[in-house]
Amino acid sequence: MFNEQMYGYGSKSSVIRELFAYGLERKKIVGEDKVYDFSIGNPSIPAPKEVKQAILELLEEPAEVLHGYSPAAGDPEVRQTLADSVNRRFGTHYTADNFYMTVGAAASLSISIKALTNPGDEFITFAPFFPEYEVWVATAGAELAVVPADTKNFQIDFDALEKLIGPKTKGIIINSPNNPSGTVYSEETVRRLAELLEQKGKEYGISIYLLSDEPYREIVYDGVTVPFVPNYYKNTLVCYSYSKSLSLPGERIGYIIVPDEVDDAGRVKAAVAGAGRALGYVCAPVLFQKAIARCVDVPSDVSAYRRNRDLLYKGLTELGYECARPQGAFYLFVKAPEPDAGAFSEHAKKHDVLVVPGDSFGCEGYVRISYCVSEKTIRDAMPAFARIMEEYQEER
Ligand code: PLP
């Protein structure tokens, strides 16, 4: 007999995937440019030219170097190059030993969660959150508790968080810049979080680990800075990927940082290596380990996303839609004009506008609009967004 839990995950795809698949079919019927697909977070800007250049140069390397296995944790030179870059940017003192290369942020998170979890442990995250956290926490054998969204500005509701922390709390998962709200945690939020976790860790005599899910770290606007979390809370594991910052989601490349300051750092590093082994995630793609090392200081080009953000935010709020102005990532989290976001998403679908109900992110009454699309898609979709709002206003 197969595994029922795995069957459950495999037999139903996510709402996002379903909408995306629907959009592809619908485009065949009504035409590519008549479907306004805001469902998926696939970067719409190409990878920087330096990535292609790096790959071309790497192709000249001997095949056994390029296509052979690296050590399980990744190529030591690559890891040292990444450590040097992070040290330059954030004033840290990491070495290759603090880095574990992964197949994207998904693996960074699932490895870190598995590495830390013992039966009965609990993780806490904040709505709205990336839906796969539930899968990774459950399959590691832990429970996921969710702090309800603070819809004023999507920062942290500390009173609600404090109530959820207890002796079984193993870790807290944060994601800033956030998918789907676009919020960036302020320095004050990160500082308060660090203080609370230190206080609670002492109170219960436990180590509470903070997993910082950061695939959008580089995608911020208006000069906003993203606090580097380990500089505020020593028990932080950084879960990073190049999927969004270098527009390389299909290449599956990222890393985990386990700083030496983390409680029991040596054993946590070994547990990360063990979890990578247990999940079969050893030796991340070698060509792309080497490619990103060559592009380590290449900045992300966020200008197109910023234009899209401005266009969509201004357009939608002028039409009467309510949403917090995102400071990062490439999503707008919009209050649905009716309480049932699923019904709103279905309604929008009738106008060939595809938006994802917030329920799957643990936040009802909102929809996620991914604006990593062409500017034309946004401009063309505006009349449809206007008609949808008019229909809701007529109903009242
Ligand atoms: N975490 C968040 C918040 C994401 O939005 C995503 C992907 O969209 C991931 C993790 C997974 O990223 P990756 O494609 O690098 O595995």
DSSP letter string, 234-252: TTEEEEEESTTTSS-GGG-
* For ligand 1, atom 8: residue with the closest CA: 41
At 171, give phi and psi (nearest 5°). -155, 160
Question: Which residues is 145 bridged to in the sheet?
Answer: 124
Question: Could you tell me the strand order of the sheet in which 169-175 lies?
Answer: 99-102, 254-257, 236-241, 209-213, 169-175, 122-126, 143-147
What is the radius of gyration, based on Cα positions, of the chain?
A: 21
Q: 106: Cβ below 6 Å to ligand 1?
A: yes
d(CA 76, CA 169): 33
- Which ligand 1 atom sits nearest the alpha carbon of residue 254? 15
Does the global pTM surpass 0.95?
yes
**How many other C-beta atoms lie within 10 A of the C-beta of residue 325?**
15
d(CA 294, CA 113): 29
d(CA 346, CA 151): 23
Half-sphere exposure of 104 (CA within 13 A, CB side): 9
Half-sphere exposure of 20 (CA within 13 A, CB side): 12
Q: Compute, in angstroms, the gap from residue 105 CA to the centroid of ligand 1.
A: 5
Residue from 179, 217, 252 whose mutation best tests the ligand 1 pocket (most atoms within 8 A of CB): 179
pLDDT of amino acid 13: 80
Residue from 244, 279, 368 whose mutation best tests the ligand 1 pocket (most atoms within 8 A of CB): 244
Category of 104 on φ-ψ map: left (φ > 0), alpha (ψ -120 to 50) or beta: left
What is the pairing mode between strands 143-147 and 122-126? Answer: parallel
Q: Compute, in angstroms, the gap from residue 373 CA to the centroid of ligand 1.
A: 17
d(CA 32, CA 24): 8
CB 313, CB 323: distance < 8 Å: yes
Residue from 134, 173, 183, 243 whose mutation best tests the ligand 1 pocket (most atoms within 8 A of CB): 243
d(CA 17, CA 159): 34
d(CA 35, CA 352): 5
Q: 175: Cβ below 6 Å to ligand 1?
A: yes
At 124, give phi and psi (nearest 5°). -125, 135
CB 185, CB 149: distance < 8 Å: no
- Which ligand 1 atom sits nearest the alpha carbon of residue 108? 16
Which tokens sit at 306? 């910023």
Question: Could you tell me the strand order of the sheet in which 322-323 lies?
Answer: 322-323, 331-335, 366-370, 356-357
Q: 43: Cβ below 6 Å to ligand 1?
A: no
Question: Which residues is 323 bridged to in the sheet?
Answer: 334
Three-class DSSP category at 266: helix
Q: 105: Cβ below 6 Å to ligand 1?
A: yes
At 7, give phi and psi (nearest 5°). -60, -45
What is the pairing mode between strands 353-354 and 36-37? Answer: parallel
pLDDT of amino acid 396: 62
Per residue of the chain (396 residues), what is the pLDDT tens digit? 999 999 999 998 888 989 999 999 999 999 999 999 999 988 989 999 999 999 999 999 998 889 999 999 999 999 999 999 999 999 999 999 999 999 999 999 999 999 999 999 999 999 999 999 999 999 999 999 999 999 999 999 999 999 999 999 999 999 999 999 999 999 999 999 999 999 999 999 999 999 999 999 999 999 999 999 999 999 999 999 999 999 999 999 999 999 999 999 999 999 999 999 999 999 999 999 999 999 999 988 899 999 999 999 999 999 999 999 999 999 999 999 999 999 999 999 999 999 999 999 999 999 999 999 999 999 999 999 999 999 998 876
Q: 144: Cβ below 6 Å to ligand 1?
A: no
d(CA 360, CA 97): 37
Alpha-helical regions (H) of 262-320: 265-279, 286-294, 303-319
Residue from 133, 136, 185, 213 whose mutation best tests the ligand 1 pocket (most atoms within 8 A of CB): 213
pLDDT of amino acid 64: 86
Question: Which residues is 48 bridged to in the sheet?
Answer: none
Q: Compute, in angstroms, the gap from residue 236 CA to the centroid of ligand 1.
A: 18
Q: 174: Cβ below 6 Å to ligand 1?
A: no
* For ligand 1, atom 5: residue with the closest CA: 179
At 93, give phi and psi (nearest 5°). -130, 45
